[in-house]
Chains A and B, each alone.
Chain A
Amino acid sequence: MSDYLKEFPRDLEDEAIYILREAAAQFERPCILFSGGKDSITLVRLAQKAFYPGKIPFPLVHIDTGHNFIETIHFRDWLVKEVGLDLIVGYVQDDIDAGNVTEESGKFSSRNALQTATLLRTIEQNKFDACLGGARRDEEKARAKERIFSVRDDFGQWNAKNQRPELFDFLNGRIQPGENVRVFPISNWTELDVWNYIKEERLAIPSIYFSHQREVIEREGVLWPYSNFIYKDVDEKIENRQVRFRTVGDMSCTAALPSPAATLDAIIEEIIGTTISERGTRLDDKRSEAAMELRKANGYF
């Protein structure tokens, strides 16, 4: 059955490559925001194709919360070497130490929101005028409203009610000094499109996407990956479970999914059959109905 869901529409690749080339042509200092997740890995592959046989004309930027899955960091370093890219890392810890931001405390604390300050500082220090990211419109309903070239003011803010119209294939990246554009080449892809692409292109991805044994804490029906970064109540139990991750954020905001899927085929089958949306495993989005829009308004990716 459902074989039709396993085909990748090539039109989406052509569109993404078009957007990447526009970004390279219209901006002076663009970069790729790289989280180590499947969407940014897809973006790197698309950039390789867009500029072949030339080198990718942007560096990778990673905003490091310090609460990483170690597998993701290893993967990032391997990819940078393999593809021959420049890597710039912005550390959230630096902003905490400098007193720019204050760490959240308590049971549900996360460094997710703190990333924004580090991102904006990294953009300013490196004078980036465009940041390319792997966000997709099907992820979340505020993202569904965002443009492909999304202009942010010099505080990094997104003004949802006053976006530039985007007609036909025209992308208008003209900005004032200090402003910045977030560019989303895979806006029109769905989660399944990304997985089918990864399979067709035989892309390497971090091992945590595949089923493995991991220590977790079950809290309100959600499996939190256990680490030194997460708060544990005395009465909470650490269990060993067979899980995988469907999205990769930092360890304090990404829930694990009980899953036996150990291959790309099994993951694709699992996603076709799922009744839970992708961001349903993101603890950062569960904070409120408007969580994403509010974070974006403040400069979040």
Chain B
Amino acid sequence: MDVLRIATAGSVDDGKSTLIGRLLYETNSITTDRLEAIEKASQRKGIDFLDLSLLTDGLIAEREQGITIDVAHIYFNTPKRKFIIADSPGHVEYTRNMVTGASKADVSIILIDARNGIVEQTHRHFYISNLLRTPQVIVCVNKMDLVQYSQDVFNTIKQQFEVMAARLSKSNQSIQFIPVSSLHGDNLTKVSAQLSWYSGKPLLETLETLPVRESIQHKPFRLPIQYVIRPRNESHHDFRGYAGRIASGVLQEGDEIVALPSGRKSKVAKIYQHDVVLSKAKARQSVTITLEDDIDISRGDTMVKTAEKPLLVNEFTAAICWLNHVPLVPGKSYLLQHGTQVSKAKVQLIQYVEDPASLMRIESASTLKMNDLGKVQIRVAKPFAPDTYESNAAHGAFILIDEHSNTTVAVGFIE
């Protein structure tokens, strides 16, 4: 069974929690005691409907303020696949949480209130899904019941969205539009009689049939080495295995490989998936590789195929999102983590900071503050061999870590 990772973002008012709550309810994914707990909590808050946001707003502060602050993870199954929803808040001050929630997503669901059409938040949500190159975007035009299920309203919003999308850089993203009413359950799990003019699939069926990350197997082979396994026991005296999770591509026994950055070459002797020997392994599998020659490879190195060798770089351009309340200091030394490699790095130059809604660029920016999105030039102390995010997302992103606070302060996408 495969797993589809979904990102949702939005505030309480646009019906996001109701939509998720409905999906769970109609796929029998909420248990009675959880429903009863929500019912009681809703009554305590003095509201007369079932406040399904209480299901996902897990923190005291979130329930106090009636807002989503942090990413929540929600799980459900249908006969077709397992779903993991990463649900993030939608307001501008939580842009970093949205980027975090969406980073692993196969599909991003963007909710639009049919009465309001495209608003500032919509711009930001789409900007982020475009930046992350989330393979699929589903635009749910919600609250169709409040606009008399009007096809004209839906079509107008769809056109406006397409105009907005055209302003951003082109990607291979597919964008679909679905009219729904999460309050009444129209077009979520069942087709709706009220929306007979809509010929597409309802939301759940759409989610069940989207392709999942197939493409990363067709990308070049990249294996960031996590750990070297050397048991030194009697039965495996000379065993030396390089363990890691394949980021992209496929590997076969006998393939010629190169370790980067050293450039040392060898051939694959065996591919272990724990105690099972595989003849072939593919992206996302955690494996242990043994080689025909004893060459020096350690954590932080990347194993690639000789024929698909990326270039070593020490200076590059990247889009970044700043995640920390302490702003970026250009020229300061940070740690850059890419795959399992860590190197000291400096932001040499800020090209611009961009507003995701208006797409206005500030080219004279001297820093990036929390939630800012921009483009920078970075220099690293140790050369490394990334792909561009555009060509191979699984090996084209990095994080920046503050050396003193140890926290993750930025995420970047290599260009």
Please give me the residue from chain A that is nearest to B323 by CB atom.
A165
- Are the C-beta atoms of B275 and A7 separated by less than 8 Å? no
Q: Which of B167-216 contact A (CB under 8 A)?
A: none
Please give me the residue from chain B that is nearest to A166 by CB atom.
B100
- Are the C-beta atoms of A280 and B31 separated by less than 8 Å? yes
User: Which residues from A are CB-within-8-Å of B59?
Assistant: 142, 145, 160-161, 293
Interface locus among A14-22, A89-97, A107-115, A250-258: A14-22
A169: Cβ under 8 A from any B Cβ? yes
- Are the C-beta atoms of B71 and A145 separated by less than 8 Å? yes
Q: Which of A248-285 contact B (CB under 8 A)?
A: 274-277, 280
- Are the C-beta atoms of A167 and B72 separated by less than 8 Å? no
CA distance A53 to B79 in the complex (A): 36
- Are the C-beta atoms of A11 and B284 separated by less than 8 Å? yes
- Are the C-beta atoms of B60 and A137 separated by less than 8 Å? no
- Are the C-beta atoms of A55 and B245 separated by less than 8 Å? no
- Are the C-beta atoms of B226 and A172 separated by less than 8 Å? no
User: Which residues from B are CB-within-8-Å of A142?
Assistant: 58-59
- Are the C-beta atoms of B31 and A170 separated by less than 8 Å? no
Please give me the residue from chain A that is nearest to B33 by CB atom.
A280
CA distance A276 to B31 in the complex (A): 5
> What distance in Å separates the Cβ of A281 from its nearest Cβ neighbour in chain B?
10
With a 10 A CB-CB cut-off, give which of B58, B79, B96 has the most chain A CB atoms: B58
CA distance A198 to B410 in the complex (A): 39
B235: Cβ under 8 A from any A Cβ? yes
A163: Cβ under 8 A from any B Cβ? yes
B99: Cβ under 8 A from any A Cβ? yes
Interface mask (B1-19 → A, CB under 8 Å = 1, otherwise 0) = 1110000000000000000
B239: Cβ under 8 A from any A Cβ? yes
B2, B69, B286, B411: the one within 8 Å of A14 (CB): B286
B357: Cβ under 8 A from any A Cβ? no
Interface mask (B53-77 → A, CB under 8 Å = 1, otherwise 0) = 0011111110100000111111101
Interface locus among B138-146, B346-354, B400-408: B400-408
Beyond A175-B406, A188-B73, is A167–B397 a contact (Cβ under 8 Å)? yes
B37: Cβ under 8 A from any A Cβ? yes
Q: Which of B7-40 contact A (CB under 8 A)?
A: 31-34, 37
> What distance in Å separates the Cβ of B209 from its nearest Cβ neighbour in chain A?
15
- Are the C-beta atoms of A17 and B31 separated by less than 8 Å? no
> What distance in Å separates the Cβ of A165 from its nearest Cβ neighbour in chain B?
5
A50: Cβ under 8 A from any B Cβ? yes
- Are the C-beta atoms of B226 and A21 separated by less than 8 Å? yes
> What distance in Å separates the Cβ of B54 from its nearest Cβ neighbour in chain A?
8
B380: Cβ under 8 A from any A Cβ? no
Interface mask (A150-192 → B, CB under 8 Å = 1, otherwise 0) = 0000000000110111111110101110000000000110101
User: Which residues from B are CB-within-8-Å of A29?
Assistant: none
Interface mask (A75-92 → B, CB under 8 Å = 1, otherwise 0) = 000000000000000000
Nearest first, the 4 closest Cβ-Cβ pairs linking A and B are A141-B58, A49-B274, A174-B406, A17-B286
10 interchain pairs (CB within 8 A)? A8-B1, A11-B3, A13-B286, A21-B227, A49-B274, A160-B70, A167-B100, A167-B411, A276-B31, A280-B31
Binding site for B on A (CB under 8 A): 4-5, 7-9, 11-15, 17-18, 21-22, 24-25, 48-55, 137-138, 140-145, 160-161, 163-170, 172, 174-176, 187-188, 190, 192, 274-277, 280, 289-290, 293-294
Besides the known contacts A4-B1, A274-B31, A293-B58, 18 further A-B residue pairs in the complex with CB atoms under 8 A apart: A4-B80, A5-B77, A11-B284, A24-B227, A48-B274, A50-B274, A52-B275, A53-B229, A53-B236, A53-B239, A54-B236, A137-B73, A141-B56, A144-B56, A144-B58, A144-B72, A188-B84, A280-B31
